[in-house]
Amino acid sequence: MIEFSHVGKTYRSITGKSVRAVDDFSLEIPRGEVFGIAGPNGAGKSTLIGVLLGFLHPSDGSVRVNGMRPRAYIERNGIGYLSELVTINKRWRTDAALTRYAILAGVPRERVSESVEKVIATLGLGEHRRKRVKALSKGNLQRLGLAQALLRDEELLILDEPTHGLDPVWTQRFRDIVNDLRDPGRTMIIASHNLDELQRLTDRVAIIDHGRLQRVVGTGSLDQTPSGALTYRISVASGADHFAKAFPGAVSTGRGEFEVVVADLAGLNRKLGALMSEGAVVAAVVPTRSVLEQQFREAVGESS
């Protein structure tokens, strides 16, 4: 569906200064995949999305969407896009803005009202429908941005920081919406700082830093990091004195809590089995970092 081939992007200022925002980026995203993009601030995520939308031309390499140039694909089919910054004319009213976008999206005239009502209901914008954009809170504006991306059943959805500004209830609702949108014919790209969210929603995550693809991580089989290190916090209700035998090198963090480093999930379970067979009662096992977060830190360095 999407193919980045050795894409590079250099920004040049009038004074001749240049910044390499994306460098030799190659990646294929098949149809039907929910794909995540993660990276620290300034890693090149937004530039990459700008290139994918044809809002920026790559300095090197090429991008193809269904074998077409991005603009050609979008001008023919349209896409659902939520930008990191939701920029809508502040004077427009919520329902009018959605009506405009529905018309431009090519929703048939007789179905415009139905489509608008549907997304208003899905995103809970009913009570804000007559409000002007300038009167919307950050969260409601984000929901309006998401609503306009969902006006038509697009084959390609690109969501840049989709839960930015959403409260926990709407963050969960967003996750439900993404899961409902999963379809073999629909490709979704989600760029986010929220690694937990990417791990829950996506099939694979590209970790980028300094404009380069560092690694692509499959979220379905995240049981081992390349360094072979998973860190967990284990609480025991009783039998803490057996801990050191089952987990040599465990660090006590007090009140029956230990931090342990294991190579993989199988090893963790084996050691927990040994601990419990000694009579210890395990109260909780919590990863100190999600596995994706650990992968992310390894890829971009602890300083990021």
Partner 1 sequence: MKRSQIIAYMPWQLWDFALDRGIAVLFTAGLLAMSIVWPGHIALSAMIPPEAVTLELLKVAVAQTVSIMVVIAASGMVANDRVGGFYRFLFSKPVRQPVYYGMQFFVTLAGVLGIGLILLSVFWILVGWASPAVPLAMIVVTYLALGGTIFFFSTFTRLDWAMLVLLWGASALSRTIFADSAWYQAAKWVLPPMHHLDKLRGALFAGTPVDVGGVVWLVGYGMLFFVAGLVVLERKAIAE
Instruction: Measure the CA–CA gap between 207 and 27, rounded to whole angstroms.
Output: 12
Stretch that binds partner 1, among 20-28, 83-91, 163-171, 193-201 (CB under 8 A): 83-91
| Among positions 62, 87, 238, 277, the unique one binding partner 1 when judged by CB under 8 A | 87
| Among positions 1, 56, 120, 272, the unique one binding partner 1 when judged by CB under 8 A | 56
The tokens describing 38, both together, are 């993660």
User: To the nearest 10°, the Cα dihedral for 291, 292, 298, 300?
Assistant: -160
Q: Nearest distance from residue 13's CB to partner 1, in Å?
A: 12
Q: Would you count residue 50 as binding partner 1 (CB under 8 A)? A: yes
Stretch that binds partner 1, among 14-22, 78-86, 258-266, 278-286 (CB under 8 A): 78-86
103/284 with CB nearer partner 1? 103
| Among positions 19, 28, 62, 75, the unique one binding partner 1 when judged by CB under 8 A | 75
189 and 37 Cβ atoms separated by less than 8 Å: yes
Which positions ≥6 away from 30 have C-beta within 8 Å? 1, 187
Stretch that binds partner 1, among 87-95, 230-238, 244-252, 291-299 (CB under 8 A): 87-95
Of 144-183, which residues contact partner 1 (CB under 8 A)? 145, 148-149, 158
Instruction: Measure the CA–CA gap between 135 and 142, rounded to whole angstroms.
Output: 13
Residue type, 219: T
Q: Would you count residue 74 as binding partner 1 (CB under 8 A)? A: yes
Outline where the chain has alpha helix (H). Answer: 45-52, 70-77, 94-105, 112-122, 138-149, 168-181, 195-201, 243-246, 265-277, 291-300
Q: Which residues bind partner 1 (CB under 8 A)?
A: 50, 53-57, 74-81, 83, 85, 87-89, 91, 100-101, 103-106, 109, 145, 148-149, 158
